[in-house]
Structure 1
Amino acid sequence: MALNNNLFSDSIEKVIKNASKIALRFGSNLVGTEHILYGLVSVKECTASKVLAELGVTENALFELFEESSSGISLFGNVELTPRTKELFQIAQHIAMDLNHSFIGTEHLLLAILSSKSCYATKVLENVFAINVDDLKAKILATLQASRERKKVEDSQSGSELPEKLLEMGSDITLKARQHKLDPVIGREEEIQRVIEILCRKTKNNPVLIGEAGVGKTAVVEGLAQAIASGDVPEEIKNKSIFSLEIGGLMAGTKYRGQMEEKLKDTIETIIENGNIIVFIDEIHTLAQAGSEKGETSPSDMLKPYLARGELQTIGATTTDEYRKYIEKDKALERRFQPVMVNPPSVEQTIQILKGLKDTYEAFHKIIITNEAIEAAANLSDRYITDRSLPDKAIDLIDEACSKAKVNFTLKPQKVRDLEEKIKSLSASRDEASIQRNYEKAAKLQSEIINLENELKTHNDSIVKKSASGQIGENEIAEVVSKWTGIPVTKLTEGEKEKLIHFEEILHKRVVGQDEAINAVSKAIRRARVGLQDSKRPIGSFLFMGPTGVGKTELSKAIAEALFDNENNIVRIDMSEYMESHTVSKLIGSPPGYVGFDEGGQLTEQVRRKPYSVVLFDEIEKAHPEILNALLQILDDGRLTDGKGRTVSFKNTVIIMTSNIGANEIRQHKQLGFGNESADKVSEKDVYMDALKKKFKPELINRIDVICIFESLSKQHLIKISDIMIASLNKRLASKNLYLKIDPKAIDYIVAKGSNLIYGARPLKRFIEQEIEDRIAEKILLGQLPSRGVIEVDLEGDKLIFNSVE
């Protein structure tokens, strides 16, 4: 591509002129790349000169360099560019075109030099000035990007009456209101009125909006801007413009100490000089936070005198925690602001806000938002998304549900893709048949293609019709909530209904006996999934009591597997680790200033990540009483505040506590002999309840939904458990093409030898591992059993024998 000299900017022409002069001055009529580098630094107002000056590449430094290597003879007359220099200009033209720039500027020429690693100018930069060429290249590209963004801002804010230097650091909210670029503000009339009243004061006329993230603090300011734009405000502020100052824009480029303070002072003076500007500073606590290191002046200190005199009207916005941490403790700053609390709207108010925003989101997504979707977004977000505030979380639900629906409508169904592939394949076959002059086959294929194309058209027409009438309802909102939280809030499918109806049977596949506990848990799960449980408490809270090895922990795992298809989806807290009072910090997280503050609590962090889960407090009697006090809030209100002050919701968890308390007394009682069986059961329950009342406070016992007493395992129970264990072993053996067949007498022997009245079913598992699994492995290795096929286990005398079956 030929070099077009008409594309040279004025700065480039000055660069060439100064480069020619320096070449002749030091005895050369050829302008090399080093002379071009000198030309770039000599044109002070250009981008390249500014960037190079920051790195110490100045006119004087290069002049001294030329003097050292010069012969001292100056020349006169015409000069010519070296081939390498001409090549640089060609590269610069390419770079300008790639960046969609109309002219070749000094920045493009400097990028061309940096791209030509072998040219003399690049070697000077690397060897003399110790500049990393790649870093400098990245810096120039970043400068160009910032310039482009600034131009975008200027274009978007054309028509603003604010000074140009201010628009580089923020935006004119009043202009956006006049251009109807702001969303409607609903339900914040009281807060907007309060802000107007403060702004109309003579002194200390600076409101600060305080509220949690997402409650609508910025919306209050946008509502004020809309009121100013429509003239619905007092005369004092009718001609004012609201300027949103971005802290990032204020700090950008302030590399050295004092630069930001100077930039802020210049900004304040510009605002005061204009006289009709109200400054809005979102996250105003960052001004108090910035420069808070020892020995530095905080920007907020510079604002104080202007705020006190009423010269600089400012609206701030911050969260409750940040206000307390950074502004409230600075009394001089606090008294210059008048707080305006912005509380989250109620569910009803949120519904009205969403109805006001409905048209905006429908126009953007081209999806119809039904009233059912709006009500579901407000209700479900309030109930299930507990770590964010209304209306922000409800608006996000609507936005994402619309986005999901739009994507689904625009994606081609698999049937359409299959038809397109088939048409493409048949077209290729038809063309091949035509080339081979097999016209009969070509005609037949063409007929098939026409039929498929008609079918494809029908499908495409239905997609267009469906997308044109696309809408979202309650179920689409519920799907998004489920995706965000992992909590199933969508309508029950037929498969889920079937599972919930037979939930007891599913649990009995893993847990033998214990009907009372299984029935109580199943009822609670069904209530929750249908949506009938108390929304302010956990799904259910259960205390499983009984001797060790009877299935308390196993039932907890079975519940997790039945609900989530994975027994590991359980938050298990071993209470033997919480026997001291100070270990409560392990549970909920250390308070600020203590070791481990950033790590969070073992309980609260897991529940925050998995809000729909089974929470198992194993061996609850071993926990310190201080730990049990923390459980009171979980059981009653379904929430717990962690060490960082965040509220963690337990409303969608199943709380299970296990305890062996009272089991020793029962065992001692049984060793003395047996009486009437039914009376024995009643006395067992009384023993457990007496032990429970002695150990735990009434307020804890009273908050538990169901206390389940697990019965000791009978011989029949143990036989069933051994069958389950053998079935589990056969599952593992199946991958090795082995199957275990055990004689009933051998089962009786395993139960008799492997079970224990004190330890329940746990010894049975160990016996099967030692006497069956270990011996099979040993015999296969010795060649006494085949590595595939059926292995029979029989009882011979007092010993298990193993035989292979052909």
Structure 2
Amino acid sequence: LKDKQLYSLDMGSLVAGSRYRGDFEERMKKILKEINTRGDIILFIDEIHTLVGAGAAEGAIDAASILKPMLARGELQTIGATTLDEYRKHLEKDAGVGRRFQRVIVDEPSVAHTIEILKGLRDRYESHHTVTITDAALVGAATMADRYINDRYLPDKAIDLIDEAGARLRIRRMTAPPDLREFDDRIATVRREKESAIDAQDFEKAARLRDDEKNLMVEKAEREKEWKAGDLDVVAEVDEELIAEVLATATGIPVFKLTEEESQRLLRMETELHKRVIGQEQAIHALSQAIRRTRAGLKDPKRPGGSFIFAGPSGVGKTELSKTLAEFLFGDEDALISLDMSEYSEKHTVSRLFGSPPGYVGYEEGGQLTEKVRRKPFSVVLFDEVEKAHPDIFNSLLQILEDGRLTDAQGRVVDFKNTVIIMTTNLGTRDIAKGLNLGFSNADDTKTSYERMKAKVNDELKNHFRPEFLNRIDDIIVFHQLSKTEIIEIVDLMLARLDERLRDKDMGIELTQPAKELLAERGYDPVLGARPLRRTIQRDIEDQLSEKILFGDLKPGQIVVVGVEGEGAEAKFTFAGEDKAEIADVPPIVAEG
């Protein structure tokens, strides 16, 4: 390499404008003659796969064929760069070109090497953006890019983070303060008044306004000078927090340091989840413990954030807890990717999850699971009624649960390390529904009876799933049936949502205790759980309420008090509208369990 110079060959400029046969070849010959004459040139060709076929018209030869003789004689020293896919697609087909080059695989640098690369580039970005980049920002950019951006490679993705953070800080400094922007409004107002005075031929007023305009311009210039001088004195520093902010904006991933506020929120996770999920203390506690373990950084970094089987009868809160967890962890209920596994009960439906193999219909579309996780890498993935899925699906789930990744049909690796995997099942619930046969009361499960029920469900799971699948699950959480007290709490929760909708009409709703108990009694089903309760509220409360509002019996500014008239099967709900001022002492319904 001593006394050698590196020149880059721009294939696009070389081909551009070559209209007639021989134009391109003539240009190539001139370049090769110059290289041969000089003898100290090493040619660098980026995207070297473009050589194959470049400039080739009918009857003409391409750039690769022109270079082959010189490469064979050793007269041309060349470095080419391309991706493995492009190399395989273009260069391997032309064995003559591939044979004349020595292939060197350049792997992705480690995080430590990336930090060293960023330190070398720091001066360039600091001078370009007129900012200071701290060492912590460089380390943060490398580690966070490696951790959170999975579809690109180091150091490229880390460099982009540094560049964008510097640009963001520079834009913030360039934004004028509000008082400086006010000068523009005031000057524009004075100019309009001056024009009006000239039109009205009030030249004395116009002259006064002209002086006001000049004074404002001088004041603005002084203030602008102060702002720029003061801004130059303040050192603009790109730190780790700004890198995290840029990453969160670009990817939608909630990147944050484990602050004291976040720690407190995780410690009271049970309380937050109980605001939407009634009962199920054991299930919520087990789930919260696992999530705290993950957020504290104690989990295996190669595995998903958590993997759980939710077992229990229908309508006890399994799906609702999954939605609540998605909202708690990622701030959005839409972060839940829900898949009904009864749709994947046939062998051929497995390809719908992970993508069709080459040559089959839908190959380009990707899989329903893999595409959703690629778009939302931070999410809760819910496999609903997982026992109904075809056994072949569990083979792929093994890789997700153990390695936190999955390769789709197109060969792309989809990262599941930032997801929480939840599988719901009804296995063993026949015995839960007949709880008395197991020696416990449905209304008030004791700890001992709950453990016996859990053991029964675990036996059913072992009979249905293979041991290697169950061993990869973090925890199997068994939900118990809801008691009457919990059903009444769910009534409060559902009516709080109805109360929120009525607030748009300047109305509210209150239920007496007998009315709540009657709703709970009619909506409670030991087999179906709390799901019939929503239909009961629609039928007995919302339908009658809507009719009374349309007839004008209930008006805005009133609170609807729902009571009960009659007893037993003859009992029915009554609706009375009272002004809000008259019942100020009635406690409001709150959306907390």
Taking the aligned partners of 1:294 and 1:597, their CA distance within structure 2 comes to: 34
Asked if the contact 1:511/1:554 (under 8 Å) is kept, the reply is yes
Deviations 1:659-693 (A, max 9, x none): 11111232245367647944321210111111111
**Structure 1 residue aligned with 2:420, among 645, 654, 669?**
654
Q: Once the 2 structures are TM-superposed, how far is the Cα of residue 263 of structure 1 from its aligned partner?
A: 4.2
Residue in 2 that maps onto 1:474: 240
**Structure 2 residue aligned with 1:266, among 18, 23, 26?**
26
Judged with a 3 Å threshold, the aligned counterparts in structure 2 of structure 1 residues 686 and 415 are, in CA distance, closer, same or farther, namely farther
Taking the aligned partners of 1:356 and 1:655, their CA distance within structure 2 comes to: 41
Residue in 2 that maps onto 1:805: 578
Residue in 1 that maps onto 2:181: 417
Residue in 2 that maps onto 1:726: 495
Taking the aligned partners of 2:56 and 2:464, their CA distance within structure 1 comes to: 52
Gaps of 5+ in 1: 1-232
For the pair 1:462 / 2:257, whether they are aligned, the reply is no
Identical-residue share of aligned pairs (%): 48
Taking the aligned partners of 2:179 and 2:456, their CA distance within structure 1 comes to: 67
Taking the aligned partners of 1:403 and 1:505, their CA distance within structure 2 comes to: 41
Residue in 1 that maps onto 2:10: 245
Q: Once the 2 structures are TM-superposed, how far is the Cα of residue 640 of structure 1 from its aligned partner?
A: 1.6
Flag the structure with more relative contact order, 1 or 2, with Cα contacts below 8 A and sequence separation at least 6.
2
Asked if the contact 1:398/1:477 (under 8 Å) is kept, the reply is yes
**Structure 2 residue aligned with 1:395, among 159, 166, 186?**
159
**Structure 2 residue aligned with 1:578, among 344, 348, 351?**
344
Taking the aligned partners of 1:435 and 1:503, their CA distance within structure 2 comes to: 72
**Structure 1 residue aligned with 2:321, among 512, 537, 555?**
555
Judged with a 3 Å threshold, the aligned counterparts in structure 2 of structure 1 residues 435 and 653 are, in CA distance, closer, same or farther, namely farther
Q: Once the 2 structures are TM-superposed, how far is the Cα of residue 447 of structure 1 from its aligned partner?
A: 12
> What amino acid is the match of 1:576?
S
For the pair 1:509 / 2:282, whether they are aligned, the reply is no
For the pair 1:633 / 2:399, whether they are aligned, the reply is yes
Judged with a 3 Å threshold, the aligned counterparts in structure 2 of structure 1 residues 776 and 244 are, in CA distance, closer, same or farther, namely same
Write out aligned runs for 1:382-781 (5 A). 382-418=146-182, 461-466=229-234, 469-491=235-257, 496-529=262-295, 531-670=297-436, 674=440, 677-781=446-550
Deviations 1:626-679 (A, max 9, x none): 211212222222222222212222222222221111112322453676479443
Deviations 1:276-297 (A, max 9, x none): 4543322222344769999997
Deviations 1:436-474 (A, max 9, x none): 79x9xxx999999999998887655432322xx212111
> What amino acid is the match of 1:648?
V
Taking the aligned partners of 1:672 and 1:325, their CA distance within structure 2 comes to: 65
Taking the aligned partners of 2:347 and 2:551, their CA distance within structure 1 comes to: 55
Q: Once the 2 structures are TM-superposed, how far is the Cα of residue 712 of structure 1 from its aligned partner?
A: 0.8
Runs of 4+ in 1 over 6 A off after TM superposition: 289-298, 422-434, 443-457
Taking the aligned partners of 2:353 and 2:59, their CA distance within structure 1 comes to: 39
Deviations 1:263-315 (A, max 9, x none): 44323322332214543322222344769999997654555455434454432
Taking the aligned partners of 2:492 and 2:59, their CA distance within structure 1 comes to: 75
Residue in 1 that maps onto 2:111: 347
> What amino acid is the match of 1:486?
G
**Is the partner of 1:562 in helix, strand or coil?**
helix
Judged with a 3 Å threshold, the aligned counterparts in structure 2 of structure 1 residues 525 and 422 are, in CA distance, closer, same or farther, namely farther
Taking the aligned partners of 2:560 and 2:56, their CA distance within structure 1 comes to: 76
RMSD: 3.7
Deviations 1:502-538 (A, max 9, x none): 3222211110012233233334444544555433222
Taking the aligned partners of 1:685 and 1:384, their CA distance within structure 2 comes to: 37
Taking the aligned partners of 2:409 and 2:133, their CA distance within structure 1 comes to: 40
**Is the partner of 2:103 in helix, strand or coil?**
strand
Taking the aligned partners of 1:500 and 1:462, their CA distance within structure 2 comes to: 42
**Is the partner of 1:335 in helix, strand or coil?**
helix
Judged with a 3 Å threshold, the aligned counterparts in structure 2 of structure 1 residues 677 and 399 are, in CA distance, closer, same or farther, namely closer
Taking the aligned partners of 1:770 and 1:253, their CA distance within structure 2 comes to: 76
Larger Rg: 1
Gaps of 5+ in 2: 580-593
Asked if the contact 2:254/2:330 (under 8 Å) is kept, the reply is no
Write out aligned runs for 1:785-796 (5 A). 785-786=554-555, 789-796=558-565
Taking the aligned partners of 2:528 and 2:10, their CA distance within structure 1 comes to: 70
**Is the partner of 1:747 in helix, strand or coil?**
helix
For the pair 1:284 / 2:48, whether they are aligned, the reply is yes
Q: TM-score, normalised by structure 2?
A: 0.84
**Is the partner of 1:751 in helix, strand or coil?**
helix
Residue in 2 that maps onto 1:357: 121
Q: TM-score, normalised by structure 1?
A: 0.63
Asked if the contact 1:245/1:279 (under 8 Å) is kept, the reply is no
